[in-house]
Amino acid sequence: MTIQDQQAYQQKWLEIGTIVAAQGLRGEVRVYPSSDFPERFLEPGTRWLQHPQTENIQEIELLAGRYLPGKNLYVITLETIEYRDQAEALKGCKLLVPDQDRPKLSDNEYHVADLINLEVLNQKTGENIGIVVDIFYAGNDLLKVQLHKQPESQENQEIRENDLSKISRKSKRRKFKKNNIQPRTILIPFVKEIVPVVDLAHGRIEIMPPDGLLSN
């Protein structure tokens, strides 16, 4: 490992986006942002790529960028990436900047990376209902929260409701296979009235959900 590689691994990083696809034939790539600072993708300068399989971190120059209206995507041009096959090889790579390279925020502004994995507490009941897994932008910011209480799969309900002794071995094996049900999530508007407390020090937010928000 070179000295530069050692420094890259010792450095703390801030993820600002993920390359999701190639754009056109000239090596441009599409980036899904995890930062709400457009300059991360529009201003030329040094960025870093983290490869999804190896997790190796590579320095690279961002030459230019533009926003795709309505898609919440940026198209960027990277130095030495000149052909579509090179761009396609970068799919899944994370776009990074050093952790200390954080723009100053105003009161009640937060970095996206700091909100991910925060626990979500319901102020009305004191219940820990879930964890923030993503953030979307649709007029207001929306927190995507994966709920701790997940609906039971239909297969597991059948197993519980039936006498297993009456089910064939083949049926048992089929019913006990891991199901592919997606975890239940909800979207919570990230506004002061609904999310009055953001406690980064203790890794949580507190919400005051309006009627119906948690039952959807």
pLDDT 10s digits, 171-212: 545 544 555 567 889 999 999 999 999 999 999 999 999 888
In the chain, ranges of CATH 2.30.30.240 domains: 112-207
Contacts of 73 (CB under 8 A, 6+ apart): 20, 30, 31, 32, 33, 67
- Angstrom distance (rounded) from CA 210 to CA 190: 13
- Residue 89, classified by CB atoms within 10 Å of its CB into exposed (0-12), middle (13-18) or buried (19+), is middle
In the chain, ranges of CATH 2.40.30.60 domains: 3-98
The CATH number for 112-207, chosen from 2.30.30.240, 3.30.300.10, 3.40.50.10860, 2.40.30.10, is: 2.30.30.240
What is the percentage of the chain residues whose pLDDT exceeds 90? Answer: 54
3-class DSSP assignment, residue 148? coil
- Angstrom distance (rounded) from CA 184 to CA 126: 20
Contact 19, 28 (CB under 8 A): no
| pLDDT per residue as tens digits for the range 76-126 | 999 999 999 999 999 999 999 998 887 777 777 787 778 989 999 999 999
- Angstrom distance (rounded) from CA 57 to CA 42: 21
What's the CATH code, domain 3-98?
2.40.30.60
pTM of the prediction? 0.60
